Amino acid sequence: MDTRGPLCVGIDPHASLLQAWGLDDDPAGLERFARTVVDALADRVAVLKPQSAFFERFGSRGIAVLERAVADARAAGALVLMDAKRGDIGSTMAAYAAAYLDPSSPLFSDAVTVSPYLGYGSLRPAVEAARASGSGIFALALTSNPEGAEVQRAVGADGRTVAETVLAHLKAENAGEEPLGSFGAVVGATLGGTIAEAGIDLETGGPLLAPGVGAQGATPADLPKVFGPSVANVVPSVSRGVLRHGPNAAALRAAAGRLAGEIGAVVGS
């Protein structure tokens, strides 16, 4: 992020985006879409974030496209964050961890999004796999969808919200790491001042993935209000705000560069 600017661009091949690009909603259209994004951006943005679901819907051919996109993006120097939001227990969680965090896997990524809502301890196989491979996780903490509040803002017996408990676990994972640990949280950029109003501490010693900039309504100027003193650790994620400029590669690069500049100006990067 220091070198390339503080921006994560999602690779979200919605059917509507494929159509807008003049592509068929099939594996060939998917491959053309993913390859265009990777070729245009992987050598200049800090992070690319494929949304696994939009590849999985095409079955094995879609997964093959995802494997190629991950490998090509990493070869071009981008960090790849697999947006899979996996969460399970025991051997099943270990299998998910092997799929995304084992260097021998064709889907090996620099980090993966995970859900801690079977209890943070259920993520232990992913945490251990990330430590072993030098990769990381981003655990859902304070998401911007309204349904999330009934779980994330629920208060436990110790007086902390569930989200605060997740953040505290991540802080413990990152203890002693400089400049940042590899165990991040997902915190929506659309939450406005509600985090500060609730007195929630976002200083976990790790990165904060912030979806919601662009099409979901948040702007780069909103980031300091949402994240306060932790804004320097934010990885703002933009998908449609960049992808709608395709399929022209130059337009994709220009959009990503413009957003990275706007975000850098407010987060001090």
3-class secondary-structure state, position 149:
helix
Of the candidates 1, 52, 53, the one whose C-alpha atom is nearest the C-alpha of residue 207 is 1
Q: For residues 202 and 141, what is the distance between their CA atoms, to the nearest angstrom? A: 10
Note whether 18 and 37 are within 8 A (CB).
no
Residue 121: CB atoms within 10 A of its CB come to 10
3-class secondary-structure state, position 105:
coil
Query: Rounded to the nearest 5°, which phi and psi values hold at 205?
Result: 80, 10
Catalytic residue among 49, 85, 171, 225: 85
Q: For residues 198 and 73, what is the distance between their CA atoms, to the nearest angstrom? A: 38
CA distances from 96 to 73, 101, 121, 162 (A): 21, 8, 15, 23
DSSP at 3: T
Q: For residues 240 and 37, what is the distance between their CA atoms, to the nearest angstrom? A: 12
85 a catalytic residue: yes
Q: For residues 62 and 81, what is the distance between their CA atoms, to the nearest angstrom? A: 17
- Point out the residues that are catalytic: 85
